[in-house]
Amino acid sequence: MSAPADPAAAADAAAVPVRVRDGVKYCLLVFLAVRIGLSLLSVAGVGPITPRGGELPAVAGWPIAPLEPGWHNAVDATERQDAAWYLRLATTGYRSDDNSAAFFPLYPLAVRVVALLPFVGPLGAALVVANASFLAALVMLHALTRLEFASEAMARRAVVFLAIFPTAFFFLAPYTESTFLLLSISAFWFARRDRWGWAAVMAALAAATRNVGLLLGPALAVEAWLQWRRDARALVPRMAAAAATALGPLAYLAYWQVRSGDAWAPIRAQTNWNRDLAAPWTSLTDAVHLAARYSSYWLIDLLVVGVVLVAVIAGWRRLRAPYLTYAGLSLLVELSAPTPGRPLLSMPRFVAVIFPAFWVFAFAVERRRLSEPLVVGSFAAGYGVLALLFINWWHVF
């Protein structure tokens, strides 16, 4: 078995009999395992682990309960850091004076809608949206993996490796990661099945969830070109579907134009979150230097990001061009916007959605180039450590 890197040799995905529902049972078991595991870890980890010193931060003006031991942590222990921004946006909306425009709207909008249900509440709605999205994302990843590699074993390994990646607990927290992951995988699924209208919808929604969703556009354009080159399918409609990715951010900019007369508010807000522009290699060089000097968070950032970076580089012959385009651009864009003093801040979370990297791990294990116990053990250990730091308000975000 090998990945269909050569588009001329790739099977017509629209004709491959892969059903999404075939992976539901397995993915549900994996989801329940990590969901229950994180809840138990959260209950056990508040109290024995020393929380971050000093007064806990007031984030976005959203009230977060004091850090106290108890079974309530099984539910609310991930209400940390940026989760407060999404909860506030879902309840009271945007303001023009607090840089909240940097947070794209689809996730808080979905939370607001779900919160209308009785007895749910904002936090409950945020967790429902995030967790349901993650379960659906695992199912879609299973289906897309089988479509691309015709291997049930590859699909199962990719699902497990993604679910236990060191920062995968963010998929279960009130964050955008799981919603974005679901929409980005779905965009590729529909494009590969030659259902470009749905691919456009998924990509546009992904780009309305996180700004890096725009990178799906070039990746889908490559897919459209490969399909045209292989069997002369109509190119223009498929390229138009890829370009439709931009409709998500354009709609958000239009909202700010109507709201405040400043369509560029989201872009300006991004620049106020302590991000600089730099060459990707400069960010990496600085990250290595700081990790060697200080260890701690800098070393964690470098290890987690480095694992994904190495996987993407190693996959250049195994992954099809659209996936390499998406993964490569995602890494380049994130590395081009470092935070002074901690270049890879938040990148361990951002790289978790680069799902083609997990195909590379699965492929390496299948070819016995990596030990499966080593991958599972190191990922799970990293997951446990970083989740404990996160729920105790340490600087993992």
Q: Is the pLDDT of residue 54 over 60?
A: no
CA distances from 242 to 104, 217, 320 (A): 20, 5, 17
Give the mean model confidence (pLDDT) for residues 319-326. Answer: 97
Token pair 């970076």 in the structure block, residue? 309
Q: Each residue of 94-106: pLDDT tens digit?
A: 998 888 999 999 9
Give the mean model confidence (pLDDT) for residues 117-123. Answer: 94
- Number of Cβ within 10 Å of residue 194's Cβ equals 14
CA distances from 133 to 26, 160, 179, 243 (A): 16, 16, 5, 25
For residue 284, give both structure tokens.
Answer: 């990496």
Q: Which long-range contacts (CB under 8 A, 24 or more apart) does 220-224 make?
A: 220/187, 220/188, 220/191, 220/245, 220/322, 222/321, 222/322, 222/325, 223/188, 223/191, 223/192, 223/322, 224/191, 224/196
Question: Would you state the pLDDT for residue 323?
Answer: 98
- Predicted confidence band at 236 (pLDDT cuts at 50, 70, 90)? very high
Give the mean model confidence (pLDDT) for residues 278-306. Answer: 93
How large a percentage of the chain has pLDDT more than 90? 80
Report the C-alpha dihedral over residues 168, 365, 183, 348, rounded to 10 degrees: 40
Q: Is the pLDDT of residue 272 over 60?
A: yes
Q: What is the pTM of this model?
A: 0.94
Listed in sequence order, the residues at least 6 apart from 322 whose beta carbon sits closer than 8 Å to its beta carbon are 188, 191, 219, 220, 222, 223, 226
Of the listed ranges 7-16, 189-198, 316-325, 336-345, the least confidently predicted one is 7-16
For residue 372, give both structure tokens.
Answer: 């499966």
Confirm if 107 and 170 have CB atoms less than 8 A apart: no
Of the listed ranges 119-123, 231-235, 323-327, 344-348, the least confidently predicted one is 231-235
Question: Would you state the pLDDT for residue 98?
Answer: 86
- Predicted confidence band at 4 (pLDDT cuts at 50, 70, 90)? very low
Give the mean model confidence (pLDDT) for residues 224-237. Answer: 89
Question: Would you state the pLDDT for residue 1?
Answer: 39
Question: Would you state the pLDDT for residue 373?
Answer: 96
CA atoms within 13 A on the CB side of 135: 15
Question: Would you state the pLDDT for residue 283?
Answer: 93
Q: Is the pLDDT of residue 6 over 60?
A: no
Question: Would you state the pLDDT for residue 332?
Answer: 96
Give the mean model confidence (pLDDT) for residues 323-330. Answer: 98
Longest dimension (CA), the chain: 63
For residue 20, give both structure tokens.
Answer: 């999404």
Q: Is the pLDDT of residue 52 over 90?
A: no
Give the mean model confidence (pLDDT) for residues 275-287. Answer: 90
For residue 339, what are the β-bridge partners?
A: 342
Give the mean model confidence (pLDDT) for residues 315-338. Answer: 95
Question: Would you state the pLDDT for residue 276?
Answer: 80
CA distances from 166 to 59, 126, 350, 367 (A): 24, 22, 12, 23
